Structure 1
């Protein structure tokens, strides 16, 4: 025992010298081998073979008859059990997906090992040992269900996941969605590339800079709840597993096309009795993809490569060109993926992956305004690449997994080439319009270096059970920068056409921020008496962030922003947290057909460079001035605004600091569930989910304490204050004139937010592909409620911000969601794919802000308040029903040619999916709707 403890400590010390979050991209097969009386059989030789393996895996049972095959690549497996005095048993068709543990516990019959028994029973569909809730989109679902052919619309198909966008035939595929699941914070999400977290490091750290070719993936696993200790976050964890080569050549070539000619005419919604053009119908979409994989040396060296070219062009009906025609939104995406797998020896495997993506959005519109003209849209020409390497090694019952990853991107949001530098950005807060020029432009260089080491060890008989120990460490270095410019150094603000304010910027600035993460975890999955499995884990996370020494050129307004050189900061936040992950799974019958699960875990909320960016004095900063347009030309002249007497607010690192005692935000998650196998390949389940969020932080303006505000029912001219949302009188709070323009923001934990919580019940049905039929379905009933926050830009000292803040329905709260995915093959090889999604309408409006009433003529200038309790006004319910019809033609033994017809939004629902949330003449005016029915035609060649 002393030697074992020493070896364990030695391995952990070695691992600690390695340097990010890894999660299982493989599965397991485990079980107990017995004789006819139920007695354990030791020393049974077991061999696992699969097309996914270069060489067979072999092991023997221990004294308790138990065994484990760990880190099995996704695929279909065959097990052979051999021991003297018993017939050899072969079990086949065992499907393994990432994170899934198949329990195979054969009962060997007496006989000679030369005699064999072939078991063709259906493979297990219930995982009776794990607590993790996940949905795996295998190659059949990725290829045969009608979807947008992107990560975001695919993940949105998973039960319980709510997304910021509703996709029809790829209509939203060029801009990543914000996602949440079972009460997680929107954006608390991880993009894991081949098991290694490589998110974009900016802002909250929860987004991606990389758009993947779906045809290059063998699996897309979505971990949603009850994650083990090696997973850092409790939100949406997306594990993208690339295809690999094989001992036999395989490949694919596909072409898809759709256009305005295959699309129904869009129907304009009516607002105040007048049809309102809205929506983004297709002009054209063309998608070409090809890939090829195979052996260089059989059982030794495999390679795989893929290429994709994707062009999409849409009309933006709500925005017109000067000639009155709708403006257009053209986009382009290209991808290359290369993978090499090499079997160094029987127990050592090495693979390399290079991912490349160019994402071009020629007129990107995603500011706070609904109607953004072409000259105010950004131009994005963005290249990015990822380099990865993984080495796995086995030694007896030990498995070592070492991973390296590097992400490099240059993300620009620039002015249109024809937009002059003298063009002025104009924003109308009531009409929700933005014209003239983008509010700012930047180039964002970013990089992530990640290294992870995991060690697992299996012991079949120890301390009263069989144990699978896992230990690991993760580290990442993350750098994010921005080079900002603003035309004329200002934005002009209007209220229903009336000039009200000018925002002055400190540009040009060259901003740099850094953060480091290190984690260590330990977990033991122990099975007691073959039925009860305890999954006991703990995770330690270290996070620190700062900004390095930096400087910027002279500002457009050097008198407003004189300082341009700044030394390196001390650590802005340093967090060290320990989070438990405790689960139990009980196999009710011991036959692997039913399981009861219970789980409690804590998860840190994901964090990026946002804190450093928020308080960096060299970061993007503003000063807001009242604007008196004396000459009436609607163009701000310095004499009309640039006076200390007109200053009403400031933002940015110069006026912002972080509470030195700031605690890291985290979630408590509770999950209780039951799953039952029915028939041969069908599993039904029910789960209850609870989640609350603690230690959320936001801004507080210490220069404007709550006591310096005075309640008033009239503005400074004596006019009554009327809520433009409800039409009723409202009480606001006027700031002491002596405090107007004073800013001293502190980012600190807000105790009011500790009450935010989620309750949900989910029913699921899963049928693994068999007899030409596959189903994945989920029905979720839920509510997320609590106190609304605007995040780091909020001011919890301002009583105007407290109006209608509490008891809100939060985020993408769809009271009910129902989703069905299915593939079915009819006679004559006619294939049908189904993708149906239903959502209760979201509260108005999680993407564009809550129902907002705007007031003028108070001491502090423009005042915005929540005009109605969030959740009382909802957007319409959304139903999206898509079908696929195809029929493969077999060309010889291995080749297939398959024409495809995809029918999207077959009910032609023109549901409004966003509205203007600002009270006034445009309140609840539709700004976007589901794209209409469209047919997409494809041709796929595979072998």
Structure 2
């Protein structure tokens, strides 16, 4: 029977064996620019990258929740009941007509059943039973090819029963199925009049021969035994190909939103899901903000790339799917207590850091992590619950931030979270689940001082000199003054004020043994976040204190004091989805729809409606007037639809998918009241920013079981993926933006109060408070990329697998904002200055070469900024990488995960129409023309970007006497933290030229200031004291003096962590005291630098470095 007939038969309840929306790219077409036509746009061959799967399941260690539950027989051992013929037809038709965005998060078991002569057996009943299934079991029937497939299975231990009249029954016991894995289990039934039952045992194979994607499963066993900080970022770092945008020692930076990236795709491409439903903050450009609670997780499946033909996901970066704990028919729980005191961290301030000019950080104070969970039945086999809580905190020093009594300022950061989940089996065919994750992230300290104590005697002024001084600011003070100018985040608001939330509800309906329906709703966001001034530092409008205690900044010492801006975000997002699956033994067909929407709301206020007062040489000289109060709204709606089918023919499984996406951004109507410097403003709604769609993304994956024994798989995948974006474009055309304007002010009467009569309001530009909108190219298209992968995976021996893969990703139609000027034509790539610029010869301070720097040709152009959001021809990126991964389950119960990745990403960032200086060294795809002469006479022919090698090793190893040792080693290329937009790790080497930059005789105090070196420039000999750019129009110009990565790179990060633990068991309780040691080698690697300006005194100077060796005493408890 054909697949189409089978599908139609299932809709009406007949057993198969018996019987446009076209959104226009119209955004802002009022400022046309000469752009390339669609015919000129390069269309590369379809290519894609995708992983394989290597972790094998366990038959040794079982979670407490799996340990004591037993399978339950329902309805004769199955869950399939008679279904009315028409009852669900409308659901399937609606699902086919609708569209997608959730990915299925579950595993599957499939294979072929034959008799002992090799003949195929249709009609065999296959029942999968497990304590992980609240309904007890699932049933499938082999098709005309003798194949079966049971989908939507939770990870866990399974018992599979194969039965057919006239044949002996086979029972496969203790089959351990990990998440995101399609296990191949072929069975032979023997003809026998007695129909005897044969029972076999064994683990699932370690090679997935049906999925082209490689998925690394981090089981509860791995999360409990391998040393990690309990954060999803450090846990995902075990996965081959995955990198983290930062370095985290012992969880000290858990609160810092470290992000994941892989295979050339930055954090914007990351997808975080819970049981297949996305958890990203829709209104925050799709970048996931996750503080996943470790003890609420049963397993975590991580992919370093797209889905191998799977069309359910829009993006193709890191995919993290969290499988939550559900409880069970028996009460069980876990706990973790860990603590690090300040004296338990070694000092790693080295000679290398000292010679680089780095200031020694103050002693770390403390770090703690307390977690607990409990789950069990409310009604046996009917209603389960699981609850987990976590309280995490760290007090870390900020160098140079001092209280008035000279004590060190510590960032007091903590996270309190609670995750509640209910699972309800309404009847054998319908399951409902709901999860609510509430989290309060707080940063302090919260300094609740009375106003008089906070400001008493704080400011003294001499009227005759207009000198602003502080009676309490210290000579070595740097950064914000903690008492008056340090934000805190939601501190003191109480547990009931939980700014972060993630909630979802899901309905799963087994319509028949072949038809599955899923529907879900999700909500996530941030409320009333994220930076509040300290109490008694913000005052009622127009009060004396509101006028007096305005934010101030000493630019010479980088000191901030007297209040800060009150900044609030509200970022709600909602999502609905439906999926319908039709599964036979040979086909796994699926289609689905999703719709998501959200509005980003931002509020900003400041005392005096002033951004800050600037101070130089102890004197106030200007006020930055702001268009406060500030209220901004941006909205987005996103729709997706997909269809896909996995078709198995003999030993080959082909997965083909097609996805369509629509994106609609808008700016809601806005009303802002009168401010001190800006009048009230009313803004009408702005629509269609953008109106994109349908954006079609075809994908295909092929997996070949080479020898038919489920031990060797050859895999290929390719597909198109979109770069997620939400409110970025609406924000570009939102007329409401925070703008400031510098007004001269010198406090003429010496009272430290900015009074209206002391300011010249006539200097404010017309319509101050309403910005000039960016132009959006009418031909703008959505950024996309192609992934391609070819890999082979082999089970070397039982429980040991090796995979080798090549991965490629190419980026196209990259979005870029060109900062141009009115009337400017597009800058060409021949390195010739267009009419809007003049070329000025300068002497490179690095090596004495003479080259052109481009300054605006006329001062009239300086105020005519004309930004254009476009897809520059010269912006491209190509990633290539090879990954070798080894996964092994060791004798005695240990496990090992190891990988070696060699990779590089080559980018071209040319075609900068608004800044010709940005095109210097812009094309890394052709580096042969960039020959850089370095100091000392050494020539560097920079002919390409080097491949970078990352090595990872993690695992745990049982020792005699109930002891256990765990090790994690990461050796990765150094990179600046927080730069989630770049993944090539190449540091720029720039020269910042301003109107006061002159040639020196000897290189100045740093030895890197520009010198003439006997050069002739602009037709005359260069002389010390000459301005580098005579009659400079622009206030500053940044130009590269060498290709990125040639003369300066961050040191390699080699991080080693290990732990020792002793396991005790008594009365059904497992108790594990342990010693955890992070940064065992006490490395001094840094992750932030003070400046990329080569002539600066702090160029390449480390500004933040990792914590030293950290000891933690902890205890795990499970029952």
Residue 637 to residue 480, structure 1, CA distance change in 2 (3 Å): same
Residue 269 to residue 665, structure 1, CA distance change in 2 (3 Å): farther
CA deviations on 1:831-868 (whole Å, 9 max, x unpaired) are 22211111122379947984443221131212233443
Is the 2:739–2:771 Cα contact (8 Å) retained in structure 1?
Answer: no
Is the 1:315–1:328 Cα contact (8 Å) retained in structure 2?
Answer: yes
* Greater alpha carbon shift after TM alignment, 917-926 vs 592-601: 917-926
CA deviations on 1:422-480 (whole Å, 9 max, x unpaired) are 3435486x99x5633787442111211111101111133xxxxx111010001111111
Between structure 1 and structure 2, the one with the greater Rg is: 2
Note the residue ranges of structure 1 that are not aligned, 5 or more in a row.
365-369, 461-465, 715-720
- Aligned to 1:602, the other structure's residue is in SS state strand
Give the 5 Å matches for 1:73-472. Answer: 73-111=154-192, 114-208=195-289, 210-227=290-307, 228-268=310-350, 270=352, 273=355, 276-278=358-360, 282-317=364-399, 319-321=401-403, 325-362=407-444, 374=482, 377-381=486-490, 383-396=499-512, 397-410=514-527, 411-417=529-535, 419=537, 422-424=549-551, 426=553, 433=558, 435-436=560-561, 440-460=565-585, 466-472=586-592
Of Structure 1 and Structure 2, the greater strand share is in: 1
Residue 725 to residue 566, structure 1, CA distance change in 2 (3 Å): farther
- Aligned to 1:247, the other structure's residue is in SS state coil
Q: Which has the higher contact order (CA 8 A, sep 6+)?
A: 2
TM-score normalised per structure 1: 0.89
Residue 341 to residue 311, structure 1, CA distance change in 2 (3 Å): same
Structure 2 match to 1:816: 949
Q: Residues of 2 paired with 1:669 and 1:918: CA distance?
A: 33
Give the 5 Å matches for 1:713-724. Answer: 713=840
Residue 729 to residue 922, structure 1, CA distance change in 2 (3 Å): farther
CA deviations on 1:339-388 (whole Å, 9 max, x unpaired) are 11111111211111111111112269xxxxx9666465532226222221
Structure 2 match to 1:861: 1035
CA RMSD in angstroms, aligned pairs only: 3.5
The answer on 1:66 being equivalent to 2:184 is no
Residue 3 to residue 235, structure 1, CA distance change in 2 (3 Å): closer
Is the 2:808–2:881 Cα contact (8 Å) retained in structure 1?
Answer: yes
- Aligned to 2:489, the other structure's residue is in SS state strand
Deviation at 1:325, TM superposition (A): 4.7
Q: Residues of 2 paired with 1:391 and 1:564: CA distance?
A: 46
Q: Residues of 2 paired with 1:727 and 1:643: CA distance?
A: 47
- Aligned to 1:140, the other structure's residue is in SS state helix
The answer on 1:566 being equivalent to 2:699 is no
Structure 1 match to 2:127: 47
Structure 1 match to 2:794: 676
Deviation at 1:662, TM superposition (A): 1.6
Number of equivalent positions = 911
Structure 2 match to 1:748: 870
Q: Residues of 1 paired with 2:1058 and 2:621: CA distance?
A: 50
Residue 414 to residue 35, structure 1, CA distance change in 2 (3 Å): same
Structure 2 match to 1:899: 1073
Residue 286 to residue 844, structure 1, CA distance change in 2 (3 Å): closer
Structure 2 match to 1:938: 1114
Of residues 23, 26, 34, the one that matches 2:103 is 23
Deviation at 1:630, TM superposition (A): 12
Residue 778 to residue 279, structure 1, CA distance change in 2 (3 Å): farther
Residue 280 to residue 536, structure 1, CA distance change in 2 (3 Å): farther
Is the 2:530–2:568 Cα contact (8 Å) retained in structure 1?
Answer: yes
Q: Residues of 2 paired with 1:87 and 1:519: CA distance?
A: 47
Of residues 1034, 1039, 1050, the one that matches 1:875 is 1050
Deviation at 1:668, TM superposition (A): 0.7
Q: Residues of 2 paired with 1:373 and 1:78: CA distance?
A: 64
- Aligned to 2:821, the other structure's residue is in SS state coil
Deviation at 1:412, TM superposition (A): 2.0
Is the 1:626–1:647 Cα contact (8 Å) retained in structure 2?
Answer: no
Residue 20 to residue 929, structure 1, CA distance change in 2 (3 Å): farther
Deviation at 1:492, TM superposition (A): 6.2
Give the 5 Å matches for 1:825-864. Answer: 825-842=958-975, 846=979, 850-857=988-995, 858-864=1032-1038
Q: Residues of 2 paired with 1:622 and 1:427: CA distance?
A: 21
Is the 1:843–1:874 Cα contact (8 Å) retained in structure 2?
Answer: no
Residue 204 to residue 134, structure 1, CA distance change in 2 (3 Å): same
Structure 1 match to 2:601: 481
Structure 2 match to 1:591: 709
- Aligned to 1:338, the other structure's residue is in SS state strand
CA deviations on 1:723-782 (whole Å, 9 max, x unpaired) are 5666766532221111112122221112211x3111110100112476311122211100
Give the 5 Å matches for 1:620-631. Answer: 620-623=737-740
The answer on 1:785 being equivalent to 2:903 is no
Is the 1:20–1:196 Cα contact (8 Å) retained in structure 2?
Answer: no
Q: Residues of 2 paired with 1:725 and 1:416: CA distance?
A: 46
Deviation at 1:51, TM superposition (A): 1.8
CA deviations on 1:225-263 (whole Å, 9 max, x unpaired) are 231101111112222222111112110122111111222
Of residues 874, 879, 882, the one that matches 1:761 is 882
CA deviations on 1:480-533 (whole Å, 9 max, x unpaired) are 11002245433567999999997654222111111001111000100111x111
The answer on 1:797 being equivalent to 2:928 is no
Q: Residues of 1 paired with 2:144 and 2:800: CA distance?
A: 34
Residue 317 to residue 693, structure 1, CA distance change in 2 (3 Å): same
Is the 1:94–1:102 Cα contact (8 Å) retained in structure 2?
Answer: no
- Aligned to 1:611, the other structure's residue is in SS state helix
Deviation at 1:49, TM superposition (A): 1.4
TM-score normalised per structure 2: 0.76
CA deviations on 1:396-424 (whole Å, 9 max, x unpaired) are 20011111111242122222336566343
CA deviations on 1:276-316 (whole Å, 9 max, x unpaired) are 22558631112111111111222211111111112211122
Deviation at 1:107, TM superposition (A): 2.4
Q: Residues of 1 paired with 2:989 and 2:746: CA distance?
A: 29
Q: Residues of 2 paired with 1:648 and 1:172: CA distance?
A: 45
Give the 5 Å matches for 1:519-558. Answer: 519-529=640-650, 531-558=651-678
Is the 2:732–2:773 Cα contact (8 Å) retained in structure 1?
Answer: no
Residue 845 to residue 171, structure 1, CA distance change in 2 (3 Å): closer
Q: Residues of 1 paired with 2:261 and 2:170: CA distance?
A: 45
Give the 5 Å matches for 1:662-673. Answer: 662-673=780-791
Structure 2 match to 1:655: 773
Deviation at 1:940, TM superposition (A): 1.8
